[in-house]
Amino acid sequence: MIRTVILKVNCEKPEKPKIKAAADVIRKGGLVAFPTETVYGLGADALNAKAVKRIYEAKKRPLDNPIIVHVATKQEILQLTENIPLKANKLMSIFWPGPLTLVLKASDKVPKAITGGLDTVAVRMPRHNVALALIKESGVPIAAPSANLSGRPSPTTAEHVNQDLDGRIEMILDGGPTNIGVESTVLDVTVDPPIILRPGGTSYEELVKALGQVNIHPAALAEKSVRIAKVPSPGMKHRHYAPRAELVLIEGNIKPTAKKIQQIIDQNKKNGKKVGVLATDETKSMYTADTVKSLGSRADLSSAARSLFRLLREFDEEKVDIIVAEGVPLEGLGLAVMNRLRKASNYRIVKVD
């Protein structure tokens, strides 16, 4: 078992000795969890196939699930791809650094362990001082999926990382809670028009404004499990974001949704189950359950994105048997929130009018 070192880091002005210590781990083929603006990532040298394979082992991650590569400068992308489309360049100038991952044709330098055996590579530049400092000091692109055990809710604090990966990785850089709370949007720019493979921190509306036409992969909007032979993006095929408790998602207008949720609460309470409700500020007072948590206001879905994974982990800590969750509008960050909730529920979805 590895001794996992946790270093508290100033997220505005990361202390150089701490960043250097983490970079040394990366260069030696080790694993470092670090904060980004979306969630905490589990980093390894992206050009070291042996180090990348350790990510899969530490996370218990399926080998066909590709990993996003993080860069600190556009120059670094030239190691990863031989072709940057004009639309990709435009998106980089608008959204980087930020929560947008671009899928590009991979160069021969990219280990197959990163691409899941595909001929494409997913790349992004994080908008976080700790992440950027670590990449620069390491001197290599950093491969980094979310720093959690595969299938669990993604980590938005260092404590979440430690809960899942203590003893499995060398270091955690604790830069406090993340800002956005859901992973980056993954956009395939090897096709025209580009297609969203995973909704996330950059909204569909923002991308349409920048490019004019953007498609959304059916799996990103799916209300039931979709069979995908080859996974072009993380978060598409395997079960993700799931708490230990069973999660049921209720989708529809607020009043019938609230009525249905209370019915499910009452039913499960009769059967002796401990019930948690994932509500919103506007509805939390409507429910009588063992525990009721609010994602935030329906008028500000950025709050829902920021608190989603934290609340799912809190339900686990409180050992609820079932979580009943409200759906939110499929607009802005709501699309990413609903994508995560549908996957977390394993598509146990109830529609109401």
| Residue 322, SS3 per DSSP | strand
Give me the CATH topology for the region 5-221.
Answer: DHBP synthase (3.90.870)
Q: What integer pLDDT is reported at residue 233 of this predicted model?
A: 61
Sign of the dihedral through C-alpha 203, 185, 310, 43: negative
Q: What integer pLDDT is reported at residue 238 of this predicted model?
A: 52
Q: How many CA atoms lie within 13 A of 9 on its CB side?
A: 33
Alpha-carbon span 240 to 301, nearest angstrom: 20
Which tokens in the block code for residue 308? 């989603």
Q: What integer pLDDT is reported at residue 231 of this predicted model?
A: 59
Which tokens in the block code for residue 56? 């899969």
The phi, psi pair for 179, rounded to 5°, reads -90, -45
Q: What integer pLDDT is reported at residue 172 of this predicted model?
A: 98
DSSP state letter for 290: S
Question: What is the model's pTM?
Answer: 0.95
Alpha-carbon span 325 to 312, nearest angstrom: 10
The phi, psi pair for 67, rounded to 5°, reads -115, 140
Burial 153-177 (b: 16+ CB within 10 A, else e): bbbbbbebbbbbbeebbbbbbbbeb
How deeply is 4 buried, as exposed, middle or buried, from its count of CB atoms within 10 A (0-12, 13-18, 19+)?
middle
Is residue 233 left, alpha or beta, with left meaning phi > 0 and alpha meaning psi from -120 to 50? beta
Task: Provide the residue-wise pLDDT of the chain in tens; the chain has 353 residues.
Answer: 899 999 999 999 999 999 999 999 999 999 999 999 999 999 999 999 999 999 999 999 988 889 999 999 999 999 999 889 999 999 999 999 999 999 999 999 999 999 988 999 999 999 999 999 999 999 999 999 999 999 999 999 999 999 999 999 999 999 999 999 999 999 999 999 999 999 999 999 999 999 999 999 999 998 887 665 555 666 555 567 889 999 999 999 999 999 999 999 999 999 999 999 999 999 999 999 999 999 999 999 999 999 999 999 999 999 999 999 999 999 999 999 999 999 999 999 999 98
- Residue type, position 303, single letter: S
Which tokens in the block code for residue 168? 């499995």
Picking from 181, 202, 153, 146, the residue whose alpha carbon sits closest to that of residue 306 is: 181
Q: Which residue is it, tokens 């494409």?
A: 120
Alpha-carbon span 117 to 105, nearest angstrom: 12
Contacts of 203 (CB under 8 A, 6+ apart): 185, 331, 332, 333, 335, 336
**Which of these CATH numbers, 3.40.50.300, 3.40.309.10, 3.40.50.1000, 3.40.50.11030, describes 246-351?**
3.40.50.11030
Q: Where are the domains of the chain?
A: 5-221, 246-351
